[in-house]
Amino acid sequence: MNMAINPPHNGVDPEVQVFLQDVISGLSRDQKTLPCKYLYDESGSRLFERICELKDYYVTRTEADIFSGKLEQMASAIGPDALIIEPGAGNCEKVEPLLEELTSPAGYMPMDISPEILLAARARIQARLPNLHIHAAVGDFTARAVWDELPAMKARRRVIFFPGSTIGNFDPDQASVLLSSFANRLSTGDALLIGTDLDKDPVVLERAYNDSEQVTARFNKNLLKRINTELGADFDLSMFSHRSFYHPIRQRVEMHLVSLADQSVHIRGETFHFREGETIHTENSHKYTLEGFKTLLKSVGFSTAYQWTDPSNHYAIHFAEVY
């Protein structure tokens, strides 16, 4: 198993160092911001699992319905002896039925930044599919290291599985860079099976990210708790509130933490001032149209063979091949 976590050097854990730098640089901007990948420590990943079960959060349910209705078609589009690679695999629940449907899969390579959830998922899948070759990689899928062992994984065809609308967390420019990096790690004939949330009624969108049980609010605020625990900061969680809203021009739902007063926060010798009402931008969830996403895929080297949607056109799963 690849555990891409470097050992501490001279008492300084390099991962904590990078986290600290990212937090300091994000909070030093005019619009304070924090990278959304840090939302997923162990508690954040567990809270995200609860979000996926919420009635208001239609994304997971709708995607699951498309998967269960089209599983046979997806497996036949992928074909036999394929290696499935899943960046940002989380609890790996969505891939299980697909792995079971595929003919003699060559292997499964889940990747995630959050080791606890990934390693638990790996054990669960291995128990269910004892003959499947699984190689779990802990690390950042936007960096090279986590992909380094891919060439050693032999298969007739490699397929990147990227569900959950995780691509929506990237701005369109960054999404293009990421998808292009996926294409570059594959060869002609390899493929991508990817889920995107579709643009729709803002009422539906805003309800999904402001659920009545406040789980999304806890998920968002957990990031400040994590910064307190891991970086010794002194955020007062009761002085920040959760806000999500749809931005029609940017076609995205933005998630922020709002400062409820003028206040200062200290992190390892640095002081950050917040005005009352000032926000920290913590996540974007971009929404696509079917045609828009097809064009984006084409521009980075994938030709779309299938687009499956639900009856309300709320969500889409795209199957595209490297050309």
Ligand X SMILES: C[S@@+](CC[C@H](N)C(=O)[O-])C[C@H]1O[C@@H](n2cnc3c(N)ncnc32)[C@H](O)[C@@H]1O
Q: Cα dist. 305→81, 187, 209, 223, 289 in Å?
A: 19, 16, 31, 39, 16
How many amino acids of this chain bind ligand X (CB under 6 A)?
Answer: 18
- Residue 140 in the binding site for ligand X (CB under 6 A): yes
**Choices 6-14, 109-117, 180-188, 198-206; region in contact with ligand X by CB under 6 A:** 109-117
Which of 105, 107, 164, 301 touches ligand X (CB under 6 A)? 164
**Choices 6-14, 23-31, 88-96, 274-282; region in contact with ligand X by CB under 6 A:** 88-96
Q: What are the backbone angles phi and psi of residue 200, rounded to the nearest 5°?
A: -160, -170
Cα–Cα distance between 4 and 262 in angstroms, integer?
40
- Scanning residues 12 to 71, which ones bind ligand X (CB under 6 A)? 37, 40, 45, 48
Q: How far is the CB of 22 from ligand X (least distance, A)?
A: 11
Q: Which is nearer to ligand X, 89 or 224 (CB)?
A: 89
Say which residues have a Cβ less than 8 Å from residue 191's Cβ, sequence separation at least 6. Answer: 77, 78, 157, 158, 159, 160, 319, 320, 321, 322
Q: Which is nearer to ligand X, 43 or 263 (CB)?
A: 43
Q: Which is nearer to ligand X, 19 or 274 (CB)?
A: 19
**Choices 66-74, 112-120, 200-208, 297-305; region in contact with ligand X by CB under 6 A:** 112-120
**Choices 24-32, 105-113, 251-259, 315-323; region in contact with ligand X by CB under 6 A:** 105-113
Which of 54, 66, 84, 94 touches ligand X (CB under 6 A)? 94
- Residue 89 in the binding site for ligand X (CB under 6 A): yes
Question: What stretches of 79-214 show up as alpha helix (H) in DSSP?
Answer: 95-101, 115-128, 172-185, 202-209
- Of 219, 242, 227, 197, the closest CA to residue 48 belongs to 219
The upper half-sphere exposure of residue 116, i.e. CA atoms within 13 Å in the direction of its Cβ, equals 7
Structure tokens at 29: 């901007």
- Residue 283 in the binding site for ligand X (CB under 6 A): no
- Residue 90 in the binding site for ligand X (CB under 6 A): yes
Q: Which residues pair with 243 in a beta bridge?
A: 256
Convert residues 165-194 into a mask of x (bound to ligand X by CB under 6 A) and - (unbound): -x----------------------------
Q: How far is the CB of 258 from ligand X (least distance, A)?
A: 23
Q: Which is nearer to ligand X, 140 or 278 (CB)?
A: 140
Q: Which is nearer to ligand X, 91 or 259 (CB)?
A: 91
- Residue 114 in the binding site for ligand X (CB under 6 A): yes
- Residue 210 in the binding site for ligand X (CB under 6 A): no
Q: Cα dist. 276→213, 260, 262 in Å?
A: 25, 5, 5
* DSSP letter, residue 239: G
CB 198 within 8 A of CB 313: yes
Cα–Cα distance between 32 and 45 in angstroms, integer?
23
Residues that bind ligand X (CB under 6 A): 37, 40, 45, 48, 88-90, 94, 111-114, 140-142, 163-164, 166
